[in-house]
Amino acid sequence: MKKFLLLTAACIASLCSYSQSFMHGVGMVVMVDKMPFRDATSSFGFTYSPRLNFLENGNTSLSVGLPLSAALGGSYNVHYGSYYEEEGNIRYSFNAPVIVNFNYGKGATRNADKRLGFFVGGGYAYYYSGQTEFYSDDESAEFNYHRGSGTTGPVGNAGMRIGVGRRTHNIEIKFSYMKGLGDFRPDVYTFATLFNF
């Protein structure tokens, strides 16, 4: 027990000896999910990515982040001719992962002196996907149908950062993959481009 307490105290002391900083960025995201019973669907939206560097040293850091993403997608079709038919769907999705990243180079810290940087990491995520379908025709037949489901699962991500403008500003290009563990076990792919402050 004494060894454990000494190790814990040493870890806390080493954490306190390194600087910490908050960083964040905003951007655009494309989310693609694939479930066993249907084709892959995609949606387009926005992402906000805050992170806290809890270990920093020159051009490297370890960070914990919560990159939140929300996206919309869908389709709409109208058929004219001997009859009129209107159909479509609206898809929406939300992704909230907690990720620990190793960061190197640009964007790793506020004082990083590299023009390029990269990051890689993993964590755990919550993902929700919903869809509303609608149909109507000239014989007054119509329906609206909604379905949606949420799941959690492990997630991994990797990407690069390119310095622009002032010292801390950079453009981030990121890819992530999540494996849902819920009933439908979706594969969720996320592609994002952000501007980090």
DSSP 107-147: TSSTT---SEEEEEEEEEEEEEEEEEEEEEETTS-EEEEEE
121 pLDDT above the threshold of 80: yes
pLDDT at res. 142: 66
Among 20-24, 64-68, 120-124, 146-150, the range scoring the smallest mean pLDDT is 146-150
pLDDT at res. 96: 96
Where do we find the tokens 């952000």? 194
| Residue whose C-alpha is closest to residue 91's, from 142, 40, 28 | 40
Most confident of 69-73, 136-140, 165-169: 69-73
C-alpha distances (whole Å) from 78 to each of 84, 86, 138 are 7, 5, 11
Dump strand ranges (E) for 14-140. Answer: 21-34, 41-57, 60-65, 68-79, 85-105, 116-137
pLDDT at res. 175: 98
Give pTM, 2 decimals: 0.82
Mean pLDDT across 151-173: 93
Name the band, by pLDDT with cuts 50, 70 and 90, for residue 182.
Answer: confident
Name the band, by pLDDT with cuts 50, 70 and 90, for residue 7.
Answer: low
pLDDT at res. 37: 78
Name the band, by pLDDT with cuts 50, 70 and 90, for residue 143.
Answer: low
Report yes or no: 72 and 92 within 8 Å, Cβ to Cβ: yes
For 12-40, write each residue's pLDDT tens digit.
Answer: 555 545 568 899 999 999 999 998 877 88
pLDDT at res. 82: 66
Name the band, by pLDDT with cuts 50, 70 and 90, for residue 134.
Answer: confident
